[in-house]
Amino acid sequence: ITVGVSPAPLTITANSAGKIYGQTLIFAGAEFTATGLTNGDDISSVTLNSAGAVNTAVVGSYPIIPSAAVGSGLANYVITYATNGTLTVGKAVLGITANNTNRLYNTANPAFTWTASGLVNGDNLSVLSGSPLLTTTAVSNSPVGNYAIVTTNGTLTATNYSFNFTNGTLTILTGTYGITWTNPAGIVYGALLGTNQNNATATAAGNYIYSPTNGVLLPAGTNLLSVVFTPADTNYAATNLSVLLVVTPAPLT
């Protein structure tokens, strides 16, 4: 008696997988499902290919195509390779960071800038459209200190990237003001130091502390006068100034 044994049907289906843009996915050959194996037969590996496995593949879905199964007893099967496995390429994460900057008190905020980190595949900023929105609560007369530069999406878009935003810092420094004090005209020994000598002026309101103070009798010679000016507005820094005063000897008969 002759018995005809027909090959059994065997279906090999590629399993779905995922990766991010810029990442190369290497199939190990075990990412499949086999339906129809009997009698202890097995499949050790399957060749899997997908156009999306390369790191340059853009975001999207790609078929995973199985072929060339390797295993035991496969001559006893009619193998069908199903191509319904899907490789999904997701967006890479791009870091968007507001750059730290500073300005003086009572001046306008500078134009804020930002830096991108995490570009892959040789991409540059040309792959981005629009720009992030950089804002701060600081206005021109905000007190000296640090203020967040808040970074949000704004109009920024990219085909192959999502975004992770990091705030920066705006530092407001003490403001500037004008202060003048020229060397006063000389006096004769015996004349007391007064407002004709201790007469520094500043464009900001504040307190002047002179050394020596008014009413002091200075010796003949060149004397050093100094002042510490402390603005009433704490957003301005104190200033030290010095001048020279010549005291000529008094006549004595």
Taking only the tens place, the pLDDT of each residue in 27-43 is 998 999 999 999 999 99
Instruction: Count the neighbouring beta carbons within 10 Å of the beta carbon of residue 6.
Output: 7
Q: Is the peptide bond before 9 cis (omega within 30 degrees of 0)?
A: no
First vs last Cα of the chain: how many Å apart?
159
* Average confidence score pLDDT of the chain: 95
Say if residue 5's pLDDT is above 80.
no
DSSP state at residue 234: T
pLDDT at res. 43: 95
Say if residue 135's pLDDT is above 90.
yes
Distance between CA atoms of 96 and 83, rounded to whole angstroms?
A: 39
Within a 13 Å sphere around the CA of 128, how many CA atoms are in the beta-carbon half? 23
In order of 129, 191, 196, the CA distances from 215 in angstroms are 71, 9, 11
Q: Specify the range with the lowest mean pLDDT, choosing from 30-34, 83-87, 99-103, 189-193.
A: 83-87
| 50-72 confidence digits (pLDDT tens) | 999 999 999 999 999 999 999 99
Say if residue 3's pLDDT is above 90.
no
Say if residue 4's pLDDT is above 80.
no
pLDDT at res. 86: 95
